[in-house]
Structures are given as C-alpha cells and as structure tokens.
C-alpha cells in the first residue's frame, strides 16, 4: 500500500491524497489540494470542473475615509508585484483609483454597466505590469440610476458583464464606495469575499457591523454567499489608547480574521498625489511594510491564518493558473 505524501499547493501542508478532488491536472502538471477549501481557493467553486477562476474581493465599508481606496490600490499592486494578473475595479463615482494611479480611462465602469454590447476588454486599462484597471468617474452616479430602473437582476449586471473575462485574472479587487448602493450590491454579487478596512476610532465597530449586515442581506435576498476574508484596522497609532482599544475590540469579535493594523503614515497619504502606489513612492516606509504584510497574508490566506502567526508562508502562491 502506498502512502506517498504530496504538498498542498495552497497551504503547503503535506498529505497523502485519497480523493479525486485532491488532484487536478493544470497546464500539463499535477496539482494537489489537501482539502476542498484549498481546492476552491485555487480553482473556484467547481470542485471537479478544474476551471480557472479569479479570487474576487470587494474592499467595503459603508463609512467613508476608512482607507478602502488605499487598501484596494496597494493590495492590487502588491499582488501584481508578486507576478499574479490582477484587475482592480473602481466602483466609486469619486474615481479615486484612477486619480491615485495617474490614469484616466476613456471608457469606464459606467460604459460597461450601461452601454449594451460593451465588454470588459473595451474598458480595461493596463496600468502597470500585471495590473489592469477599470476606472470610474462621476458618470457612475448615472449608472446607479440606470440600474434602479431595471426590473429583474439589477444587482447582477456587473457579474453578467464580467462573465467573458473568466480566467483572465487570478485576482480581482473591487474598490467600493461608502454607501449601500446598487453599485455596491453589484460588486458583492460579483465578489466571493470582502475585506473591511476600519479606521481605529471609537466608531470602528459600527462600520463593520453594517457591512456584516449587508453580507447577510446579500445572502438572504440574492442567495449569494460572500465570505468575510478579513477586517483591517487602518489609521493605527499605537501611542493612542483609543486605537489600541479599537484593535482589542475588533480582535475580540473577529479573532483570526483580524489583520495586522495599517499604521497611520504620512507617506500613505502623500502617495496618491504623486500618482504612485506606496511600493513605488516610499518602498521603505512603514506604510509599504504594512501593506506588504497585508498582501502576504491575503495571498496565503486560502485557509484562515491565526493572528498570533500572521505571516507563516508569505511566498506561497495558490496555483490558480
């Protein structure tokens, strides 16, 4: 009897395969997954289809100014720096993603949602190696009006429009606006997970509770489950009691799903006006360190990682492609 062990390509655990779902032939090679969860993280929902699928994460908090755009831009850029193909979608009419990266799309998310026959490829703008963007601007507010007039399936328009992209990107990051809009519902119908940045003030928990309620509503009304992949404390200042208390409270609620805090950093506030990510603008800053750690944790987070050991395997890549 053979008990040869192999290594799970997602969580690096050694195991002896017993079930058909634990092996997939991809790009001519065998890939092993110790658990269904790892297989899903790498290949998507289809346990036996072996189809490539993006990991889609919405950066959401219904409060404004909690670091959503900063997190979306630097998470997307950091993942792209690791060699994955990433699409960053701006779902906020403020259009801060394009501004932060110094690009303006001729055609934007508005066109994709509203104009019949527009495909994702018509609106995608390549911005850096491995990083593409769909921008937004003030016209996105009109898309909200357009969506409101649709009778059925108005919360799934984005998902339908993106269908032709299947397999092109390993990661899709959605930067959401600070409201409970139809646009955000579209983002959540499309996403598999949410990451919630919360600023370390005394109202931190309120914003998160709103998001959790939204996730529950999406689950109940749209029949689509969105996983909470993590809560990220932002604007953290270890010198203030308020910030430490906010992190303690969040830690009590979210346990291993709480990410390490992103510290308040002048460099992070300055980078967008230089049209750069934090890794380009100030690679040695605390902001770059914090977002590098966030990226490592997010990418290796196919299986939950305890906060006491936040970064056990930063270079592990899920073999999604």
Ligand X SMILES: Nc1ncnc2c1ncn2[C@@H]1O[C@H](COP(=O)(O)OP(=O)(O)O)[C@@H](O)[C@H]1O
List contacts with ligand X (CB under 6 A): 64-70, 96, 178, 234-235, 262, 264-265, 268-269, 272
Asked if 68 touches Mg ion (CB under 5 A), the answer is: yes
Closest residue to Mg ion in the complex (CB) = 69
Instruction: Name which of 75 and 296 has its Cβ closer to ligand X.
Output: 75
Binding window for Mg ion (CB under 5 A); candidates: 90-98, 200-208, 259-267, 269-277: 90-98
Q: For 172, list phi and psi in degrees, rounded to 5.
A: -125, 125
Instruction: Name which of 96 and 199 has its Cβ closer to Mg ion.
Output: 96
Instruction: Name which of 70 and 277 has its Cβ closer to ligand X.
Output: 70
CB of 45 to ligand X, least distance (A): 29
Angle ∠(238,300,165) on CA atoms, nearest 5: 115
CB of 97 to ligand X, least distance (A): 9
> What does the longest C-alpha to C-alpha distance in the chain come to?
65
Instruction: Name which of 67 and 95 has its Cβ closer to ligand X.
Output: 67
Angstrom CA distances, 34 to 4, 26, 86, 183, 268, stand at 13, 16, 26, 37, 38
- Of these partners, Mg ion, ligand X, none, which one is at the site of residue 145 (CB under 5 to 8 Å by kind)? none
Look at residues 157, 156, 161, 186 and name the one whose alpha carbon lies nearest to residue 174.
Answer: 186
Look at residues 53, 63, 55 and name the one whose alpha carbon lies nearest to residue 231.
Answer: 63
Asked if 292 touches Mg ion (CB under 5 A), the answer is: no
Rounded Cα distance between 211 and 217, Å, is 10
b/e code 118-128 from CB counts within 10 Å (16+ = b): eebeebbbebb
Instruction: Name which of 70 and 189 has its Cβ closer to ligand X.
Output: 70
Pairing of strands 193-199, 55-59: parallel
Instruction: Name which of 105 and 310 has its Cβ closer to Mg ion.
Output: 105
Binding window for Mg ion (CB under 5 A); candidates: 94-102, 128-136, 240-248, 297-305: 94-102
Rounded Cα distance between 54 and 191, Å, is 10
CB of 93 to Mg ion, least distance (A): 10
**What are 4's two structure tokens?**
């040869």
Rounded Cα distance between 211 and 158, Å, is 20
CB of 99 to ligand X, least distance (A): 10
Out of 54, 62, 69, 170, the only residue in the binding site for Mg ion (CB under 5 A) is 69
Question: Rg for the chain (alpha carbons), in Å?
Answer: 19
Kindly determine how many residues on this chain lie close enough to bind Mg ion according to the rule CB under 5 A: 3
Instruction: Name which of 45 and 237 has its Cβ closer to ligand X.
Output: 237
Asked if 63 touches Mg ion (CB under 5 A), the answer is: no
Give the binding site for Mg ion (CB under 5 A).
68-69, 96
């Amino acid at each position: 009897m053979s008990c040869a062990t192999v290594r799970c390509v997602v969580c690096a655990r050694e195991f002896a395969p017993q079930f058909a779902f634990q092996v997939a032939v991809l790009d001519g090679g065998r890939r092993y997954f110790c658990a269904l969860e790892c297989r899903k993280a790498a290949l998507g929902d289809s346990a036996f289809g072996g189809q490539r699928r993006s990991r889609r994460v919405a950066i959401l908090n219904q409060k404004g100014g909690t670091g959503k755009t900063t997190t979306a831009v630097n998470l997307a850029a950091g993942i792209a720096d690791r060699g994955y193909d990433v699409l960053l979608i701006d779902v906020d009419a403020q259009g801060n993603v394009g501004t932060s990266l110094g690009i303006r799309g001729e055609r934007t998310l508005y066109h994709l949602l509203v104009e019949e026959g527009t495909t994702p490829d018509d609106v995608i703008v390549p911005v850096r190696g491995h990083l593409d963007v769909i921008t937004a601007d003030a016209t996105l507010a009109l898309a909200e009006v357009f969506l409101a007039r649709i009778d059925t399936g108005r919360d799934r328009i984005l998902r339908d429009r993106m269908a032709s992209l299947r397999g092109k990107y390993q990661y899709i990051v959605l930067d959401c606006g600070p409201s409970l809009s139809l646009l955000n519902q579209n983002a959540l119908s499309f996403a598999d997970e949410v990451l919630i940045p919360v600023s370390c003030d005394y109202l931190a928990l309120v914003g998160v509770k709103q998001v959790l309620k939204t996730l529950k509503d999406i689950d109940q009304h749209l029949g689509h489950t969105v996983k909470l992949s993590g809560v990220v404390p932002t604007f953290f200042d270890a010198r203030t009691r308020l910030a430490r208390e906010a992190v303690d409270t969040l830690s009590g609620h979210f346990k291993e799903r709480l990410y390490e805090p992103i510290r308040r950093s002048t460099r992070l506030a300055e980078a967008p006006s230089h049209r750069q990510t934090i890794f380009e603008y100030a690679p040695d800053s605390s902001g770059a360190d914090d977002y590098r750690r966030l990226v490592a944790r997010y990418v290796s987070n196919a299986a939950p990682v305890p906060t006491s050991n936040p970064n056990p395997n930063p270079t592990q890549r899920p073999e999604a492609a």
